[in-house]
């Protein structure tokens, strides 16, 4: 199973910059408010410095104390007010950015070629749509705003320190080299750890959801030990990758903390020494030391949010990586003219270098009933998927009404050709919602006609609210046969001129089959039908039969012609007939 791509750091940066440009105005307003709030908070150490200064030189009058206290109050109140506005602004911005990212991601996912989704497995995609979105959510809503605030506060505090007294402020710089080197090391070793962690979670979710979805198969084939082993293995991997990033934080955080205390003591020592030597005033030494103390809080937050940002960056890389899957079709085709389907020298491989179709050519006339027969593994289903436009030929071409399927978007192909399988998902929504998915413009008359065509109108009208009855996992339950009828009614509404019917997967439930046969034949009426036939009476009733053997069309003709030819088909027919008791 090949995982979906993950975007590189450069791509992530570019994407982030693009978002920033898009939200430049609100971002600048937010930054402005945060800067003003931080500036207001910076008055406090300066005021206290003045207090100490006046106390030491004897100029501290009661009037001065009053003024200093008022200034302190104003600074703290305006800090609170500005912070409130800034935070509101940043949370709103966070919501908008996150909504944009989520919409982009959804568009990317919906655009993924079906074959890629099938090959990547649901685990990877599921983990991106849940875990990674959740991680990104935390980053965009909380980590990013908090981190930005902390950076602004740190920078402004540094500026204030150097404005108050560059000489005293110099002391705080002794911690910069150690901090810079250890941070760089931490980022270098921790980043791949976070990527590994996300992948480990994706694998774990994949293993668990696959086991839950395939519980019956797991049971039937006694795979539970194997599945339990795989899940244990994936949990172990998630555990160790979590342990790794945790140990990275464990050595780095204490170093950072120690450096903060070191910066405060160094500044106090250095400021005191400068004051004794009459190089600076006691007010300046006090204010700068207080600035260093005040700076440890935002610095602490910068550090604390850094790994959340790393997780967010990794999640973003996984989300926008989905956009890197190349589209398998060009979308520049025109509207198909007519209903003729032409298959010309088509080759197809699931794995590079292993063709399963080796040059299939065939024209299917409008209204024709074509049966495709042949041994299992010959390539019949593959051919069906190609005609329905799910996969695109590796070479050669398939045209619908003169337009190559490779140039048509899947949504446009669906209006012409549909694949009928056993899958008949009921979506959460009303009966009407479930049907008009295929053609959103349909009115209730059309919906009723479609239901009547498949013999389902009667029971639908008896539902508690008729067409408005809620279905799906939380709604009114329907039987598998009813679900299949709804799927067929959906097809009637979609009204494609050609149906590809895979008998191996369509109408598998034998009890439902007899009842559904009538519904199905109503749907087939008047359309081109390509039936991948497992019951040879389908072939007998078809206009033409194509015998596929080893990825090639070995024989093509009517049932009678092929019998007379006395080749593969005649042999298949004889062996099938002899399996039926009483037939000769
Ligand atoms: P049929 O419908 O005639 O039984 P298929 O079209 O299902 O044959 O399969 C043709 C060949 O392609 C087989 O060898 C099968 O193993 C292979 N194949 C089918 N589906 C896949 C897939 N999703 N990935 C890889 N190989 C596949």
Instruction: Specify the CATH number of the domain 341-578.
Output: 3.40.50.300
Percent residues over pLDDT 90 in the chain: 42
Confidence (pLDDT) at 538: 80
Confidence band for 505, pLDDT divided at 50, 70 and 90 = low
Confidence band for 247, pLDDT divided at 50, 70 and 90 = very high
Confidence (pLDDT) at 22: 93
Is the pLDDT at 70 greater than 90, yes or no? yes
Atom nearest to 378 CA in ligand 1 = 3
Question: Could you tell me which residues come within 8 angstroms of residue 339 by beta carbon, excluding any fewer than 6 positions away?
Answer: 366, 367, 400, 401, 416, 497, 498, 528
Whole-number Å distance between alpha carbons of 435 and 444: 10
Hey, which of 115, 378, 500, 533 would you mutate to test ligand 1's pocket, going by the most ligand atoms within 8 Å of its Cβ? 378
Kindly state the average pLDDT of the residues 111-132: 79
CATH 1.20.1560.10 spans which residues of the chain?
Answer: 9-324
Nearest CA to ligand 1 atom 5: 379
Report CA(377)–ligand 1 centroid distance (Å).
6
Atom nearest to 375 CA in ligand 1 = 3
Confidence (pLDDT) at 512: 58
Higher pLDDT, 318 or 114: 318
DSSP lists the bridge partners of residue 546 as 372, 556
Report CA(517)–ligand 1 centroid distance (Å).
27
Query: In this predicted model, what pLDDT tens digit does every residue of 16-49 receive, in sequence order?
Result: 899 889 999 999 999 899 999 999 999 999 999 9
For residue 410, count CB atoms less than 10 angstroms from its CB and return exposed for 0-12, middle for 13-18, buried for 19 or more: middle
Q: Which two tokens stand for residue 303?
A: 């550090």
For residue 169, count CB atoms less than 10 angstroms from its CB and return exposed for 0-12, middle for 13-18, buried for 19 or more: buried
Q: Within 13 Å of residue 212, how many CA atoms lie on the same side as its CB?
A: 8
DSSP lists the bridge partners of residue 400 as 341, 403
Is the pLDDT at 554 greater than 50, yes or no? yes
Nearest CA to ligand 1 atom 27: 350
Whole-number Å distance between alpha carbons of 381 and 532: 7
For residue 250, count CB atoms less than 10 angstroms from its CB and return exposed for 0-12, middle for 13-18, buried for 19 or more: exposed
Confidence (pLDDT) at 447: 92
- Return mean pLDDT, the chain: 87
Report CA(316)–ligand 1 centroid distance (Å).
35
Hey, which of 120, 373, 381, 549 would you mutate to test ligand 1's pocket, going by the most ligand atoms within 8 Å of its Cβ? 381
CA 115 from chain centre, in angstroms, equals 16
Is the pLDDT at 119 greater than 80, yes or no? no
Report CA(383)–ligand 1 centroid distance (Å).
10
Confidence (pLDDT) at 32: 93
Whole-number Å distance between alpha carbons of 333 and 107: 21
- Comparing 116-120, 243-247, 461-465, 522-526, the range with the smallest average pLDDT is 116-120
Kindly state the average pLDDT of the residues 321-342: 84
Higher pLDDT, 505 or 269: 269
Confidence (pLDDT) at 219: 83
Confidence (pLDDT) at 1: 46
Confidence (pLDDT) at 129: 85
Confidence (pLDDT) at 509: 55
Q: For 65, phi and psi rounded to 5 degrees?
A: -60, -45
Kindly state the average pLDDT of the residues 546-565: 93
Confidence band for 282, pLDDT divided at 50, 70 and 90 = very high
- In this prediction the pTM is 0.71
CA 235 from chain centre, in angstroms, equals 22
CATH 3.40.50.300 spans which residues of the chain?
Answer: 341-578
The answer as to CATH 1.20.1560.10 being correct for domain 9-324 is: yes
Kindly state the average pLDDT of the residues 500-516: 64
Is the pLDDT at 332 greater than 90, yes or no? no
Higher pLDDT, 236 or 512: 236
Q: Which two tokens stand for residue 69?
A: 């206290």
Confidence band for 396, pLDDT divided at 50, 70 and 90 = very high
- Comparing 133-137, 212-216, 254-258, 295-299, the range with the smallest average pLDDT is 212-216
Confidence (pLDDT) at 480: 79
Kindly state the average pLDDT of the residues 307-314: 86
Kindly state the average pLDDT of the residues 102-110: 90
Strands 544-549 and 552-557: antiparallel
Confidence (pLDDT) at 132: 87
Confidence (pLDDT) at 506: 53
Report CA(210)–ligand 1 centroid distance (Å).
21
Report CA(549)–ligand 1 centroid distance (Å).
12
Pocket of ligand 1 (CB under 6 A): 350, 356, 374, 376-382
Confidence band for 283, pLDDT divided at 50, 70 and 90 = very high
Report CA(342)–ligand 1 centroid distance (Å).
22
DSSP symbols for 85-122: HHHHHHHHHHHHHHHHHHHHHHHHHHHS-HHHHHHHHH
Query: In this predicted model, what pLDDT tens digit does every residue of 155-189 receive, in sequence order?
Result: 999 999 999 999 999 998 888 898 899 989 988 89
Report CA(551)–ligand 1 centroid distance (Å).
10
Kindly state the average pLDDT of the residues 440-451: 90
Confidence (pLDDT) at 582: 53
What is the CA angle 244-248-253, rounded to 5? 150
Is the pLDDT at 72 greater than 90, yes or no? yes
Confidence (pLDDT) at 373: 92
Confidence (pLDDT) at 508: 47
Kindly state the average pLDDT of the residues 262-285: 94
Nearest CA to ligand 1 atom 10: 379
């Amino acid at each position: 199973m090949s995982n979906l791509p993950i975007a590189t750091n450069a791509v992530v940066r570019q994407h982030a910059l693009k978002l920033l440009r898009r939200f430049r105005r609100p971002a600048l307003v937010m930054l402005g408010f945060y800067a003003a709030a931080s500036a207001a908070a910076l008055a406090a150490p300066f005021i206290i410095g003045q207090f100490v200064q006046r106390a030491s030189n004897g100029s501290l009058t009661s009037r001065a104390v009053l003024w200093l206290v008022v200034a302190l109050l104003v600074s703290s109140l305006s800090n609170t007010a500005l912070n409130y506005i800034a935070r509101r602004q940043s949370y709103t911005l966070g919501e908008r950015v996150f909504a944009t990212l989520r919409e982009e991601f959804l568009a990317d996912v919906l655009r993924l070629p079906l074959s890629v989704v099938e090959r990547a497995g649901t685990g990877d995609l599921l983990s991106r749509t849940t875990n990674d979105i959740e991680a990104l959510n935390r980053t965009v809503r909380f980590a990013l705003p908090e981190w930005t605030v902390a950076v602004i506060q740190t920078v402004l505090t540094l500026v204030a320190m150097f404005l108050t007294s560059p000489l005293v402020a110099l002391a705080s710089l002794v911690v910069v080299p150690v901090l810079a080197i250890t941070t760089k090391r931490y980022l270098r070793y921790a980043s791949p750890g976070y990527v590994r962690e996300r992948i480990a979670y994706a694998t774990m979710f994949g293993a668990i959801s696959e086991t839950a979805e395939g519980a019956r198969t797991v049971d039937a084939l006694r795979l539970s030990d194997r599945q339990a082993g795989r899940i244990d293995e994936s949990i172990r991997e998630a555990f160790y990758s979590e342990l790794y990033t945790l140990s990275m934080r464990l050595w780095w955080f204490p170093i950072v903390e120690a450096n903060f205390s070191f910066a405060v003591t160094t500044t106090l020592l250095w400021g005191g020494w400068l004051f004794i030597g009459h190089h600076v005033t006691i007010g300046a030494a006090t204010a700068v030391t207080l600035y260093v103390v005040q700076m440890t809080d935002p610095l602490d937050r910068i550090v604390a949010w850094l790994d959340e940002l790393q997780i967010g960056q990794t999640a973003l890389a996984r989300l926008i990586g989905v956009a890197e899957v190349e589209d398998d079709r060009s979308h520049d085709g025109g509207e198909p003219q007519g209903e003729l389907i032409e298959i010309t020298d088509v080759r197809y491989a699931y794995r590079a270098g292993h063709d399963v179709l080796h040059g299939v050519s065939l024209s299917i006339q409008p209204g024709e009933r074509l049966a495709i027969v042949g041994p299992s593994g010959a390539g019949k289903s593959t051919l069906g998927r190609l005609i329905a436009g799910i996969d695109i030929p590796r070479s050669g071409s398939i045209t619908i009404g003169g337009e190559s399927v490779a140039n048509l978007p899947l949504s446009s192909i669906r209006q012409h050709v549909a694949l009928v399988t056993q899958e008949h998902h009921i979506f959460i929504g009303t009966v009407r919602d479930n049907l008009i998915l295929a053609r959103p413009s349909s009115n209730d008359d059309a919906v009723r006609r479609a239901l009547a065509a498949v013999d389902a109108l009667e029971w639908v009208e008896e539902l508690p609210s008729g067409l408005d009855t809620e279905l799906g996992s939380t709604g009114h339950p329907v039987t598998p046969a009813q679900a299949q009828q709804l799927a067929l009614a959906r097809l009637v509404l979609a009204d494609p001129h050609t149906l590809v019917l895979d008998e191996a997967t369509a109408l598998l439930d034998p009890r439902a089959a007899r009842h559904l046969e009538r519904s199905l034949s109503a749907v087939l009426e008047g359309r081109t039908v390509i039936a991948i036939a497992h019951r040879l009476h389908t072939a007998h009733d078809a206009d033409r039969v194509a015998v596929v053997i080893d990825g090639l069309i070995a024989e093509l003709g009517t049932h009678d012609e092929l019998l007379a030819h006395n080749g593969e088909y005649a042999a298949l027919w004889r062996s099938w007939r002899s399996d039926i008791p009483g037939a000769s």
